[in-house]
Amino acid sequence: MTLVDILMVGIGGFFGAVIRYLISKNMNHSDGIPTGTLLVNLIGSLLIGIVFGMELSRMWTLLIASGLAGALTTYSTVNKELIRLWKNNHKNHALIYFLLTYGGGLTFAAIGYKLF
């Protein structure tokens, strides 16, 4: 690991975190499926699939997959939101959100990988 490696992850992480914040802030609402969180996780999964499908260099992989997609995706937030939906008696929303997030994440990663 070099200083350049750390910088690549940090730069990608900065942009991923800012993008996640902006999308979640504007799209998540208190009731129903948190569409902002779902969107960032699907986009991040697609990006990771593309990076590994294209077999990008180490620097690009660190920047995009580890940094950008790593900070963009937030599966810990998904789990918190699933618990909140379940506890607030939105069990159907919780189930749909679970299936879309985890099934969609795998599907989007596979699509990204197959594109290249």
Annotated binding site for Na(+): 70, 73
Residue 8 token pair:
């690549």
Specify binding-site residues: 70, 73
Closest CA to 107 of 15, 9, 41: 41
| Contact partners, residue 99, CB within 8 Å, separation at least 6 | none
Q: Which amino acid is at 98?
A: F
